[in-house]
Amino acid sequence: MGLDISYEAVAAEAYAHIDSAGVAMGIGIQCDIATPSLVKHGSEKVKELFLRPTISGEKVACLGVSEVGGGSDVASLRTTARREGDEWVINGGKMWTTNGAQADWMCLLANTSSGDPHKNKSLFCLPMDTPGVNVHRIIDKMGMHASDTAEITFEDARIPHDYLIGEQGKGFLYQMQTFQNERINSRRASPVDINGTNGDNGTDNGDNGTNNGDNGTNNGDNCAIQANVAIGAIRPSTRVSIGPLECVRALYYKCIDDFLAGEDVTPLATMLKLKSARLARQITDGCLQFWGGMGYTDEVIVSKMHRDLRLMSIGGGADEVMLSILCKYMGISPDMR
């Protein structure tokens, strides 16, 4: 349709009204994580085979980057794709693969040569029904139960040579560009976007949300809780954004504006992911505390929000990785001295 990333921002705020962050995450994998490199660098053949049915909803996509023991360190991945005639032979495995159990194809990052770990990787479209591709296990998680996460293994899985995305050896670069986009749009499940869910379910639930049931007192009348609600960013009855949440929202819009202007938004996107993820933890923890004993049960949505949004400081690059990136941009990283 020719729409830019600002339209995604509008959609992301609408997704926040879904009571499951896992739904928004599944959409994000399909739209923002597994397909951008294919859109930008894929041949017409692979676009026709994989991109078109993905856009139409006929196929589900997943991303294969993280590995056992590798976590957020993309450069250290060990999965290999070896050229044999007109085919690539793939061996290795991927971990923390969102949509992995139901995906029809994977955007796979693998080593295609030795040498510089930033220049020896390539991206591929890998059909998940390829012989040698196995869903080793579905991972039981603390939260995001609406979104499956799987460990995938490859044992001499063969795909055609032209399932390569873009140029050989450019996979790391392509993936880093996609991560920049992901870190902007992953805010669909963060405090930038939870005005709806936070206002509806976090603090504004009448007697169920404010009465702790222990002594008949109303938690909403407690001065300490009133202060925390104000600091936390949502005024319960009016749902007006204040404080830290509005600051993060402004940074979100700034990232989008700069991205559309063609600027390198890596530092801002990194700050956005770091700050919004930590704010998500602060707000949901505060809302859970507000609910008292009921907040510690599975009977109310706030405990689900607490579990789901805890992922934001881990997935898509842990907080520690975000801090490392910022240190490099500031020129204070130890490996730059």
Specify the 3-state DSSP secondary structure of 20: coil
- Report pTM: 0.83
Q: How far apart are CA 17 and CA 7, in angstroms?
A: 17
CB of 225 within 8 A of CB of 219?
A: yes
Active site residue 182: yes
| Selected catalytic residue, list 67, 84, 182, 299 | 182
Query: Torsion-angle region of residue 202: left (phi > 0), alpha (psi -120 to 50) or beta?
Result: alpha
pLDDT in tens, 81-132: 999 999 999 999 999 999 999 999 999 999 999 989 999 999 999 999 999 9
Token duo for residue 190: 């963060």
* Cβ-based neighbours of 56, under 8 Å, separated by 6 or more: none
pLDDT in tens, 203-229: 444 444 444 444 444 555 566 555 555
pLDDT in tens, 226-281: 555 555 544 444 444 457 888 888 898 999 999 999 998 989 999 999 998 998 88
